[in-house]
Amino acid sequence: MFKPRHIERIKDVILVVLFFTTMLLLYFLWQNPMVDSFKLSKIIPEDNEVINIPSLEEVTKPFDTIANLGGGEYTSIHHEELNAWNEFRLVLNQFGGDEGIVAERITKEQYEQIMEFRSIKYIFSYGIPFNAFSELYNLPKIQGSDMIATVFSIAYSSGSPESLFIYDKNNDGYFRLIAENDDYTRTLEDLLAKLEAGNYTTHYTIGTLVGTDNQTVLPLNLISNLTDITYSIEIDTRESDYIREFAQSFFGESLDFVRRIEESKGNIIYMYGYSDKTLTITPNNGIEYKEKEGSAGSEVGYLKALEIALEYVGTHGGWDSYSGSDLTPYVKSVSRIEGDNNKGYRFIFGMELDQKNIYYESNEAIVIDVLGDKVINYTRNLIEVDPIEITAEREAFSAVNMIARNYKYIYRVLLEEGYSFEINGDEEMFERVSNMIKSIEEGYFKPQNESVEEMKLIPAWIVKVDDILLYFDLYNALPLGYTNVLTT
């Protein structure tokens, strides 16, 4: 047996060993840079941290909803008014339970003729692949649907209540989906009746008002309460802790092997490897992340690519505003892209503020490229908007008079952007410009060269003339700027 004195010595040795082991362990965890990523938060999730990622359905929504009320009168509403888009989605789901639906190609003349009846049309800002549209809204395999490539608009007309009508703008095709009866679409007749009975702004076609063939609708008179709204940049390069945290979302907790460069003009650049991954943060509210394309991988479909984009933004900056008014994202544009080894999609996301679109003069809110199943480019120019104050309503400058006042300016912009015309006099110029207008809406304009002291969203008429977006002050019709959609 051990003597008491020997037992005490053994205890002393054990205490010394434990002391030095503890010190070494603390040194290992606190001082060794190679284990900077070993953190308790990585092992124990924070239950109160919830990442809000919008669903595919939430970001796939109409750009405009136009109802033909008969007698040459129209109205344009936001898709959330009267639950208009959800009502149509219910119709699509009901169509999805009928395996007897067939698709039929029709002519442009037939389409325009049927839309002259009381009707409602949901217009998107881009062409959604028909297969993805069908999957998203539970449409069954439809006989003859192989003819339909994309859905730019989908409509219902009381002139053919057993049908839904699709316009494939990408291929200039017109189609109708025919059911065996009109039970599915009766709810849309109720929606049209509510619009007729409601106090909605009356719209007319440009052709009716100015004597051309243009079927684009615009309000004759508009009462609005939009006013200048102050905003701030989302990311301030002076907030070093947040900048570091933001960079870690791309490179991981440890930035030891990531170079950090601060340029004289204020840009902060994080770079891994030989530009394998690069994050650039600029003082004027812009971030751009680029990653080299990997080896050839499995190509994903449209919906999976969109899901990847939504999740990526959610974990790299997020979708929520940190303060102020909430901005609502939506898919604004989609295009196919191709790298050296993979194919994919470029998604451009726009933002709504209180059901009005925000238009950037020189860039976009969010652009994200998905090649294969990997994000290789991500730009972000989100803003923080102050809470909206309710202001008195006032009359906007007449949309048709806005065109009449500015058609020469619009014509000059078109010439500057490479359009070529043979025009004989002002009357022909006015008619040509008027016929090229594709849409007119009320929204917010974010100028390119605003100063820090004058960061304001400006209420504006947004006029799309072919592929040019022009912005005019909502209340005095003065030109504010323009954007060439093809070159932005």
Q: Are 165 and 174 in contact (CB under 8 A)?
A: yes
Measured distance CA(272)–CA(9) in Å, rounded: 53
Token output for 159: 């002139």
**Which pLDDT score is estimated for 467?**
93
Token output for 132: 């993805």
> What is the number of residues in the chain?
488
Other CB atoms within 10 A of residue 266 CB = 12
Measured distance CA(185)–CA(157) in Å, rounded: 9
**Which pLDDT score is estimated for 51?**
77
Residue spans of alpha helices (H) in 391-479:
399-416, 425-436
Measured distance CA(477)–CA(227) in Å, rounded: 14
**Which pLDDT score is estimated for 369?**
97
The helix (run of H) or strand (run of E) holding residue 303 is helix 302-315
Region for residue 427 given its phi and psi (left: phi exceeds 0; alpha: psi -120 to 50; beta: otherwise): alpha
**Which pLDDT score is estimated for 481?**
96
Q: Are 196 and 77 in contact (CB under 8 A)?
A: no
CB burial readout 127-156, b (16+ within 10 A) else e = bbbbbbbbebbebeebeebeebebbbbbbb
> Residue 245, Cα to own-chain centre: how many angstroms?
25
**Which pLDDT score is estimated for 321?**
59
What is the SS3 string spanning 89-153? HHHHHHHCCCCCCEEEEECHHHHHHHCCCCEEEEEEEEEEEHHHHHHHCCCCCCECHHHCCEEEE
pLDDT along the chain (488 residues), means of 10: 49 54 47 34 42 92 96 95 94 79 95 96 97 91 91 97 95 93 88 94 94 92 94 80 88 88 89 90 87 83 97 92 72 94 95 95 94 94 84 94 97 95 92 96 89 83 97 98 87
Give the 3-state secondary structure of residue 22. helix
Q: With CA atoms as reference, report the closest residue to 488 among 318, 360, 346.
A: 360
CA distances from 187 to 35, 57, 94, 267, 403 (A): 61, 21, 11, 55, 37
Give the 3-state secondary structure of residue 377. strand
Measured distance CA(311)–CA(55) in Å, rounded: 10
Q: Are 226 and 406 in contact (CB under 8 A)?
A: no
Q: What is the per-residue pLDDT across 209-262, written as a single tens digit (0 to 9) for each?
A: 988 889 999 998 999 999 999 988 888 777 788 888 889 999 988 888 899 999
Measured distance CA(129)–CA(117) in Å, rounded: 27
Q: What CATH number has the domain spanning 230-385?
A: 3.30.310.160
What are the sequence ranges of the domains in the chain?
4-43, 62-200, 230-385, 389-484
- Residue 476 CB burial class (10 angstroms; 0-12, 13-18, ≥19): exposed
**Which pLDDT score is estimated for 180?**
82
Strand pairing category for 229-233 and 456-465 = antiparallel
| C-alpha neighbours within 13 Å on the C-beta side of residue 301 | 9
Strand pairing category for 356-360 and 437-446 = parallel
Q: Are 89 and 119 in contact (CB under 8 A)?
A: no
Measured distance CA(299)–CA(293) in Å, rounded: 13
DSSP state of 382: -
